[in-house]
Structure 1
Amino acid sequence: MPSAATRPGPSCPIVPDLGDETAGRIAAGLSLGLLALAAAGSWVWMILALAVDFALRATGRFAWSPVARLAGFLRRRAHLPARMINAGPKRFAAALGFLFSLGTGLAWLVGLRSLGHALAAILGLCAALEAFLGVCLACQIHPWLPWRHESGGA
């Protein structure tokens, strides 16, 4: 296991784990596909299943996440190299994915279709940016969060 000095990217005081960015981008593409299917068919069950999957990834339970497992399989099958990065920002992104997909599902359940579609569109945009361009908006926000700043004294 690499020491803190050799770890790529900034350290995270919340999550010291490393994650595979390549598999993460594939997972974003898979999530985007599931989101598009759910929105096209108005399948509340699918968006809520996606919310559960995001929750699993946000809490570090990647082995239980069908999306993370499939993404890892596809990365290996395509012979793409793993690119290890700090997992903290990606887990924060998964937590936001959980909130947006849960919000979408709940909005659809109570009949607020426009709100659900707006939340789905925001989630879809973020997933598309990650999958196709490697731009993680939540990861850009993560360093500015209050818990990211390590205390410098007593």
Structure 2
Amino acid sequence: MEKFKNKTIYVDENVVSLVAYQVVLITVFGLHFQQQWLLLLLVIDFFIRASGIFMSPLSYTAKKISEFVYFEKKPVFAAPKRFAASLGLLMSLLIAVFYDSQSGIFLGVMLILFACAESVFHVCIGCYIYNYLVNPILRKFNSPKN
């Protein structure tokens, strides 16, 4: 597929995986060296991706890497990915606030595991939450009354 039909509905799975890899790196460095500013950069990036106002810095970097390496584009539905970015925003915000405590480390490890699952295995935990919890609720409220 050379071009996506509607860029707001689909995202490139390879770009998403590269973004997840960057999230792993930034979270590991931010927690290991206790650099709160790195964790706050993650919060900002997740906010930009969750809101969809424009392309986030990590998405831009991942897109350029994908183009440079000539990855084949693999379109996937964007709504679950945006929901996952919203969950990432919540987690990264809590990590940035509690970065020097046990709970911050625990949440950081959880974020690293979720991002590794996306980056290495193309398994989006937030997408599963969206598909099995959020989507049925949305269908129920959007279905016509009998």
The one-letter amino acid of 1:76's match is: E
Counterpart for residue 20 of structure 2: 28
Partner Cα separation in structure 1 for residue 79 and residue 127 of structure 2 = 9
Secondary structure class of the residue paired with 2:14: helix
Q: Structure 1 residue 2: deviation in Å?
A: 3.8
Counterpart for residue 103 of structure 1: 94
Q: Does 1:138 align with 2:126?
A: yes
**Count of residues in Structure 1 that have an aligned counterpart in Structure 2:** 138
CA deviations on 1:4-49 (whole Å, 9 max, x unpaired) are xxxxxxxxxxxx6211111001100011111111011111111011
Q: 5 Å matches for 1:1-154?
A: 2=5, 17-63=9-55, 65-108=56-99, 113-143=101-131, 144-145=133-134, 147-149=137-139, 151-154=142-145
How high is the TM-score relative to the length of structure 2?
0.87
How high is the TM-score relative to the length of structure 1?
0.83
Q: Closer, same or farther in 2 for the Cα pair 1:148/1:20, shift >3 Å?
A: farther
What is the aligned-residue identity percentage?
A: 28
Gaps of 5+ in 1: 4-15
The one-letter amino acid of 2:121's match is: L
Q: Closer, same or farther in 2 for the Cα pair 1:21/1:62, shift >3 Å?
A: farther
Partner Cα separation in structure 2 for residue 115 and residue 42 of structure 1 = 14
Secondary structure class of the residue paired with 2:27: helix
Q: Which stretches of structure 1, 4 residues or more, deviate above 2 A after TM superposition?
A: none
Of Structure 1 and Structure 2, which has the larger fraction of its residues in helix? 2
Q: Structure 1 residue 67: deviation in Å?
A: 0.3
CA deviations on 1:47-79 (whole Å, 9 max, x unpaired) are 01111101100111342x110000000111110
Q: Structure 1 residue 138: deviation in Å?
A: 0.5
Please report the RMSD computed on the Cα atoms of aligned residues, expressed in angstroms: 1.7
Q: Structure 1 residue 85: deviation in Å?
A: 1.4
